[in-house]
C-alpha cells in the first residue's frame, strides 16, 4: 500500500512531447512507473520511444483513457493552457491529476481545483514536484533513486526540502512522498495527506514539511491533535523571511503578523508534533522515534 | 505586486467604478496647479505601498492651491514605515455622508475568493473584525458563477450596505477577474451627501503569474527598487536582498529558505535569498554568484545544492566559470549533494581555488560560512 499512487496506477502524461515532459517521462518509466500514454492533439497517433519502450500519443485525455484505462495524469502543459488541460482530464474521468506546471495564474488554479473537486478528481499541485511511492510508481519529477520503500509518509510544500529529507532518511525509506506545491491555492492539502497516511497500513510515521505563508500548517496542527494517532515529525522553513516579500514560491509570503514560521512551529508543537530546527535535526527526530540507523547527515 | 493607490484608482475608473477626480506629481509646484485644476481644495495623499499612512501624517487636506503646494512639500520625501514618499496624489474632496468597506480577498484554505464587506468603513477592517466580528460579512464566491447582481445583493444585505452599492460590488469583481488581481479593496467606499457611491481609497494586488495575459502591463508595477534586485531580475534570477553578511545561493525555494534559517541558527545573518531553481545550468549559477558577490555587505558565501533535477556537476561548472569571470575576494563554502555530486565535488577540487572550500552536510556548511563571515567582520 501507499497513498494516492500505487504500482497499479496507469499514468498519462499531458505535455509528454515537450522537453520537460520527455525528460521526466523517461525517468518515470525507468523507475518502473506504468506510463501508458502521452497526450498531444498535434501528435496523435504517433509513438515515442523511450529506450526500449514505445509510448503511444493520444489526441485527447478521453481517447487515452478509453484505450488504456489510465486513472492518473501528470500535467507538464505550460501555464497558459494548464487550466484547460486539467478540465479535460477531469472530464475524461481521471481520479488523480498531478500538476507540475509552475506559474499558473491564481484565478486559473481556483477554477481548476474547484472544477476537479466538484467532479471527484484529486488534484496534486500545481507548482509541485508530484508524488512518489518508492519502488512502486513515480508521478512527477521527484528523483526516484534517492531512497527506497519504507515506513515514512512525507507531505511537503517544497520539492528540494522533500529531496533533502528523503536523502537524510534514505535508510529507513518511504511509503509515499507527496509534494503538494508552493502556490497559494493547491488541490491537495497537508490535511488530505495526513488523513490518507493515518489510514495507510504501510505508513508508521508522518513527516510534515511546511513553510511561511497562509495558515495550512496551523490547520494541519489542529487536525493532527484531533485525528492523527501516528507519530508526526515536522519542519518549517522561513524563520528569517522578511515581511511582505515573496520567497521563491508564490505562496511563501509573510503578511503582517500572519503566516510566520514561528506561529506554524508553535502550533505544530502544541499538537504534539516534534519539530526540527533544520532538516537534519528533523531527520534525527524521525530516527529517535523509529529507531534504525542514523542517517549520515544526522550522525555528524 | 501591490499597486499604488493612484494605480488602483485608474483600474477602478477603467471598470466604471466612480472615483474622485485626481492627479499625481512628484513636485510641490505642480501640486499647486493640480489643486487649481480640481477647483482649489484638494486632499494631498502620500503614495506608498503600506498602511497607516494617515496616522503618519501622509494625508493632508488643503484649502487652496498654495496650501496644496505646502502640503506636497511636506509629504514628499517623508518616510512612512521605511517607504520614502516619491509621489503624491491630489484628489477632489468629497462631502462624505457614510463610509463602507468592501473587498474581494483570496481565502487560501478554501481555495476561492471571498467577499468581505462592512457598513463600518474608513478604519482598518482587521480592527473592526477583531472588535465587532458581527459587523463584517464574509461571503464565499463560487468561482464558476462569479459576482452577478443577485450575488452582489446578497453581499450588500449581509453587510448592511445600501442597495446603491450593488453596482460597485459587481464592477469590483470585474476588476478582480479581468485584471487577474489577488486582492481588490475599497476603503472607504463612500456615500456622498449628493447620493453618489465613490471609491475614495483602494488597494489592488496583481498576480505576477498572469502577466502573460496582460502584455501592456510591463514592469511599471514591478516592486523592488534595490539595484541588486533589479540586476538579478534582468538576469531572470529569483533574488531577494536582505540585510546580512552571508550570501546564500541554493536550489528550490524551500531549501533556500531553510538555508537562510540555518545561517541564522549559527549566529550570522543571511544577506540574500537566491533560488537558482530546478535543473539550473552553469550559466544561471555563474550569474547568481556574480550578483551575490557584488553585494558589499557580503563577507562569505554559502552555496547549498541538493541535486534532485539539478545536476551538481553543472552547478560546480557554474562556480568554476564565475571564478574565471569575477575576482573572488570573499570565502565561498560549497555543499553539493544528490545528483552527480561526486563529479561536481571533483570539479571544484580540481580548480583548487584558495578561497573555495567544500562541506559535506548542510548544517556543517552553514556553520562554516557563518564563522567565516563573523571572522571577516571582526577583522574589519
Which of the four pLDDT bands, split at 50, 70 and 90, describes residue A298?
very low
User: Residue A190 above 60 pLDDT?
Assistant: yes
CA distance A231 to chain B (A): 23
Give the three cell numbers for residue B95: 462631502
Q: Does A255 touch chain B (CB under 8 A)?
A: no
User: Residue B215 above 80 pLDDT?
Assistant: yes
In whole angstroms, give the CA distance from residue B125 to residue B78.
25
pLDDT single digits (tens) A233-289? 999 999 999 888 888 887 888 877 788 999 999 999 999 999 999 999 999 999 999
Q: In what order do the strands lie in the sheet with B22-25?
A: B22-25, B88-91, B42-46, B59-62
From B185, B229, B239, B245, active-site residue: B185
User: Residue B222 above 60 pLDDT?
Assistant: no
> Is the pLDDT higher at B239 or at A295?
B239
In whole angstroms, give the CA distance from residue A196 to residue A228.
10
> What pLDDT was estimated at residue B239?
94
HSE-CB for B321 with a 13 A CA cutoff: 16
Alpha helices in chain B (DSSP H): 5-14, 28-37, 65-75, 125-131, 149-159, 166-178, 227-234, 253-265, 282-293, 312-325, 341-351, 362-379
In whole angstroms, give the CA distance from residue A177 to residue B187.
44
Please state, in angstroms and as integers, the Cα–Cα distance from residue B239 to each residue in A201, A247, B233, B271, B289, following that order.
43, 8, 7, 11, 11
From B4, B101, B104, B239, active-site residue: B101
The residue whose grid cell reads 495575459 is B213
A107–B109 CB contact, under 8 Å? no
Q: What average pLDDT score do residues A208-219 get?
A: 94
In whole angstroms, give the CA distance from residue B291 to residue B297.
12
Judging contacts by C-beta atoms under 8 Å, the chain A residues touching residue B278 are 141, 159-160
Is residue B54 exposed (0-12), middle (13-18) or buried (19+ Cβ within 10 Å)? middle
> What pLDDT was estimated at residue A294?
55
Judging contacts by C-beta atoms under 8 Å, the chain A residues touching residue B257 are 158, 211-212, 237-238, 240-241, 247-248, 252
In whole angstroms, give the CA distance from residue A22 to residue A31.
14
> Is the pLDDT higher at B2 or at B156?
B156
Q: Which of A4, A1, A2 is nearest to A180 (CA)?
A: A4
CA distance B253 to chain A (A): 5
Which of the four pLDDT bands, split at 50, 70 and 90, describes residue B225?
low
A79–B212 CB contact, under 8 Å? yes
User: Residue A297 above 60 pLDDT?
Assistant: no
User: Residue A98 above 50 pLDDT?
Assistant: yes
Q: Which of B370, B123, B376, B367 is nearest to B271 (CA)?
A: B370
Please state, in angstroms and as integers, the Cα–Cα distance from residue A168 to each residue in A61, A299, B171, B281, B313, following that order.
38, 10, 52, 25, 21
Judging contacts by C-beta atoms under 8 Å, the chain A residues touching residue B254 are 156-162, 182, 209, 211, 237, 248-249
pLDDT single digits (tens) B228-284? 998 998 888 999 999 999 999 999 999 999 999 999 999 999 999 999 987 778 888
B256–A248 CB contact, under 8 Å? yes
A114–B270 CB contact, under 8 Å? no
Give the three cell numbers for residue B150: 443577485
For an interface test with B, give the residue of A163, A183, A242 to mutate (most B CBs within 10 A): A163
Pick A106's closest partner by Cβ from B106, B212, B242.
Answer: B106
Judging contacts by C-beta atoms under 8 Å, the chain B residues touching residue A115 are 144
In whole angstroms, give the CA distance from residue B350 to residue B344.
10
Planar angle of CA B287, B288, B290, nearest 5 degrees: 65
- Give chain A's mean pLDDT: 93
A297–B177 CB contact, under 8 Å? no
For an interface test with A, give the residue of B143, B254, B359, B360 to mutate (most A CBs within 10 A): B254
> What pLDDT was estimated at residue A293?
60
> What pLDDT was estimated at residue B217?
79
Catalytic (active site) residue B239 = no
Q: Which of B295, B230, B275 is nearest to A211 (CA)?
A: B275
Given a contact cutoff of 8 angstroms between Cβ atoms, the answer to whether A109 and B143 are in contact is no
Please state, in angstroms and as integers, the Cα–Cα distance from residue A91 to each residue in A25, A57, B131, B295, B380, following that order.
23, 19, 46, 52, 65
Which of the four pLDDT bands, split at 50, 70 and 90, describes residue A300?
very low
Which of the four pLDDT bands, split at 50, 70 and 90, describes residue B375?
confident
Q: Which of B114, B71, B111, B121 is nearest to B91 (CA)?
A: B71
Q: What average pLDDT score do residues B94-99 get?
A: 95
Given a contact cutoff of 8 angstroms between Cβ atoms, the answer to whether B207 and B182 are in contact is yes
> What pLDDT was estimated at residue B160?
96
Percent of chain A with pLDDT over 70: 96
A159–B254 CB contact, under 8 Å? yes
Q: What average pLDDT score do residues B286-305 get?
A: 95
Cut 0.80: pTM above it: yes
In whole angstroms, give the CA distance from residue B74 to residue B78.
7
Which of the four pLDDT bands, split at 50, 70 and 90, describes residue B220?
very low
Is residue A72 exposed (0-12), middle (13-18) or buried (19+ Cβ within 10 Å)? buried
Rg of chain A over all Cα atoms, to the nearest angstrom = 19
Please state, in angstroms and as integers, the Cα–Cα distance from residue A223 to each residue in A155, A216, A218, following that order.
14, 10, 9
> What pLDDT was estimated at residue A51?
85
User: Residue B295 above 60 pLDDT?
Assistant: yes
Residue A122 forms beta bridges with which residues? Answer: A96
Given a contact cutoff of 8 angstroms between Cβ atoms, the answer to whether A155 and A188 are in contact is no
> What pLDDT was estimated at residue B380?
59
DSSP E strands in A121-204: the ranges are 122-124, 130-133, 137-140, 149-156, 174-179
Pick B252's closest partner by Cβ from A105, A158, A278.
Answer: A158
Pick B238's closest partner by Cβ from A141, A162, A248.
Answer: A248
Judging contacts by C-beta atoms under 8 Å, the chain B residues touching residue A146 are 308, 338
Q: Which of A138, A134, A189, A112 is nearest to A13 (CA)?
A: A138
Give the three cell numbers for residue A99: 500538476
A240–B261 CB contact, under 8 Å? yes
Q: What average pLDDT score do residues A201-221 get?
A: 95
- Sequence-separated (6 or more) residues with CB below 8 Å from residue B89: B5, B6, B9, B22, B23, B24, B44, B45, B47
B255–A103 CB contact, under 8 Å? no
Per DSSP, the residues of B247-314 read EEEESSHHHHHHHHHHHHHTT--B-EEEE--TT--HHHHHHHHHHHHT-TT-SEEEEEEEESSS-HHH
User: Residue B223 above 70 pLDDT?
Assistant: no
Q: Does A161 touch chain B (CB under 8 A)?
A: yes
Given a contact cutoff of 8 angstroms between Cβ atoms, the answer to whether B214 and B221 are in contact is no
pLDDT single digits (tens) B302-356? 999 998 878 899 999 999 998 988 889 999 999 999 889 999 999 999 999 999 9
Q: What average pLDDT score do residues B115-144 get?
A: 90
* Chain A nearest-CA residue for B182: A106
User: Residue A231 above 70 pLDDT?
Assistant: yes
Give the three cell numbers for residue B191: 456615500
> What pLDDT was estimated at residue A243?
84
Give the three cell numbers for residue A89: 482530464
User: Residue A299 above 50 pLDDT?
Assistant: no
pLDDT single digits (tens) A16-48? 999 999 999 999 999 999 999 999 999 999 999
Determine which of A292-296, B120-124, B223-227 has the lowest per-residue pLDDT on average.
A292-296
HSE-CB for A175 with a 13 A CA cutoff: 23
Which of the four pLDDT bands, split at 50, 70 and 90, describes residue B226?
confident
Pick B180's closest partner by Cβ from A103, A107, A163.
Answer: A107
In whole angstroms, give the CA distance from residue A58 to residue B72.
64
Residue A74 forms beta bridges with which residues? Answer: A13, A98
Cis peptide before A126 (omega within 30 of 0): yes
CA distance B270 to chain A (A): 8
Catalytic (active site) residue B101 = yes
Percent of chain B with pLDDT over 70: 97
Given a contact cutoff of 8 angstroms between Cβ atoms, the answer to whether A162 and A34 are in contact is no
Judging contacts by C-beta atoms under 8 Å, the chain A residues touching residue B143 are 107, 110-111, 114
Amino acid at each position: 500500500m501507499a497513498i494516492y499512487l500505487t504500482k497499479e496506477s496507469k499514468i498519462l502524461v499531458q505535455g509528454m512531447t515537450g522537453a520537460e515532459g520527455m525528460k521526466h517521462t523517461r525517468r518515470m518509466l525507468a523507475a518502473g512507473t506504468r506510463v501508458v500514454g502521452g497526450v498531444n492533439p498535434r501528435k496523435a497517433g504517433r509513438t515515442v520511444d523511450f529506450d526500449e519502450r514505445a509510448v503511444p500519443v493520444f489526441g485527447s485525455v478521453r481517447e487515452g483513457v478509453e484505450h488504456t484505462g489510465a486513472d492518473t495524469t501528470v500535467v507538464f502543459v505550460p501555464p497558459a493552457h494548464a487550466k484547460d488541460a486539467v478540465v479535460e482530464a477531469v472530464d475524461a474521468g481521471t481520479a488523480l491529476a498531478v500538476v507540475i506546471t509552475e506559474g499558473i495564474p491564481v484565478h486559473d488554479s481556483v477554477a481548476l481545483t474547484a472544477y476537479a473537486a466538484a467532479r471527484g478528481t484529486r488534484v496534486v499541485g500545481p507548482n509541485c514536484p508530484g508524488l512518489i511511492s518508492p519502488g512502486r510508481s513515480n508521478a512527477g519529477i521527484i528523483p526516484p533513486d534517492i531512497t527506497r520503500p519504507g515506513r515514512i509518509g512525507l507531505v511537503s510544500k517544497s520539492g528540494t526540502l522533500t529531496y533533502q529529507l528523503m536523502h537524510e532518511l534514505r535508510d529507513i525509506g518511504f511509503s509515499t512522498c507527496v509534494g503538494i506545491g508552493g502556490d497559494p491555492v493547491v488541490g491537495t492539502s497537508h490535511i488530505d495527506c495526513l488523513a490518507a497516511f493515518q489510514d495507510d497500513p504501510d505508513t508508521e510515521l508522518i513527516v510534515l514539511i511546511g513553510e511561511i505563508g497562509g495558515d495550512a500548517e496551523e490547520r494541519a496542527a489542529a487536525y493532527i491533535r484531533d485525528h492523527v494517532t501516528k507519530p508526526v515529525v515536522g519542519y518549517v522553513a522561513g524563520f528569517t523571511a522578511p515581511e511582505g516579500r515573496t520567497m521563491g514560491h508564490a505562496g511563501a509570503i509573510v503578511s503582517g503578523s500572519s503566516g510566520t514560521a514561528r506561529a506554524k512551529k508553535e502550533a505544530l508543537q502544541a499538537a504534539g508534533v516534534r519539530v526540527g530546527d533544520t532538516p537534519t535535526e528533523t531527520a534525527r527526530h524521525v530516527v529517535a522515534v523509529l529507531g534504525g540507523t542514523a542517517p549520515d547527515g544526522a550522525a555528524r | 505586486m501591490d499597486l499604488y493607490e493612484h494605480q488602483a484608482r485608474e483600474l477602478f475608473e477603467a471598470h466604471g467604478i466612480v472615483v474622485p477626480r485626481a492627479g499625481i506629481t512628484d513636485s510641490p509646484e505642480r501640486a499647486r496647479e493640480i489643486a487649481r485644476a480640481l477647483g482649489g481644495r484638494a486632499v494631498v495623499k502620500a503614495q506608498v505601498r503600506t498602511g497607516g499612512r494617515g496616522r503618519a501624517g501622509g494625508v493632508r487636506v488643503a484649502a487652496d492651491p498654495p496650501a496644496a503646494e505646502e502640503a506636497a512639500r511636506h509629504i514628499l520625501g517623508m518616510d512612512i514605515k521605511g517607504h520614502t514618499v516619491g509621489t503624491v496624489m491630489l484628489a477632489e474632496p468629497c462631502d462624505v455622508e457614510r463610509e463602507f468597506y468592501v473587498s474581494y480577498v483570496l481565502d487560501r484554505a478554501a481555495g476561492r475568493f471571498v467577499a468581505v464587506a462592512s457598513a463600518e468603513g474608513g478604519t482598518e477592517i482587521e480592527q473592526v473584525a477583531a472588535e465587532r466580528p458581527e459587523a463584517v460579512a464574509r461571503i464565499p464566491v463560487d468561482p464558476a458563477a462569479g459576482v452577478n447582481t443577485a450575488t452582489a445583493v446578497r453581499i450588500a444585505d449581509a453587510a448592511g450596505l445600501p442597495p446603491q452599492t450593488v453596482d460597485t460590488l459587481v464592477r469590483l469583481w470585474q476588476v478582480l477577474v479581468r485584471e487577474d488581481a489577488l486582492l481588490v479593496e475599497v476603503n472607504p467606499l463612500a456615500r456622498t451627501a449628493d447620493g453618489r457611491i465613490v471609491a475614495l481609497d483602494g488597494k489592488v494586488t496583481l498576480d505576477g503569474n498572469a502577466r502573460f495575459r496582460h502584455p501592456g502591463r510591463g514592469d511599471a508595477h514591478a516592486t523592488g527598487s534595490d539595484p541588486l534586485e533589479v540586476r538579478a531580475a534582468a538576469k531572470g534570477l529569483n533574488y531577494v536582498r536582505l540585510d546580512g553578511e552571508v550570501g546564500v545561493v541554493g536550489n528550490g525555494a524551500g531549501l533556500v529558505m531553510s538555508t537562510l534559517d540555518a545561517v541564522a541558527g549559527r549566529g550570522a545573518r543571511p544577506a540574500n535569498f537566491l533560488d537558482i531553481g530546478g535543473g539550473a545550468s552553469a550559466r544561471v549559477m555563474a550569474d547568481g554568484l556574480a550578483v551575490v558577490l557584488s553585494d558589499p555587505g557580503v563577507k562569505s558565501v554559502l552555496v547549498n545544492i541538493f541535486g534532485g533535477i539539478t545536476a551538481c556537476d553543472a552547478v560546480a561548472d557554474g562556480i568554476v566559470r564565475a571564478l574565471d569571470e569575477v575576482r573572488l575576494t570573499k570565502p565561498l563554502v560549497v555543499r553539493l549533494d544528490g545528483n552527480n555530486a561526486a563529479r561536481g565535488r571533483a570539479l571544484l577540487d580540481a580548480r583548487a581555488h584558495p578561497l573555495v572550500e567544500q562541506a559535506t552536510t548542510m548544517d556543517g556548511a552553514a556553520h562554516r560560512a557563518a564563522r567565516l563571515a563573523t571572522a571577516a567582520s571582526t577583522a574589519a
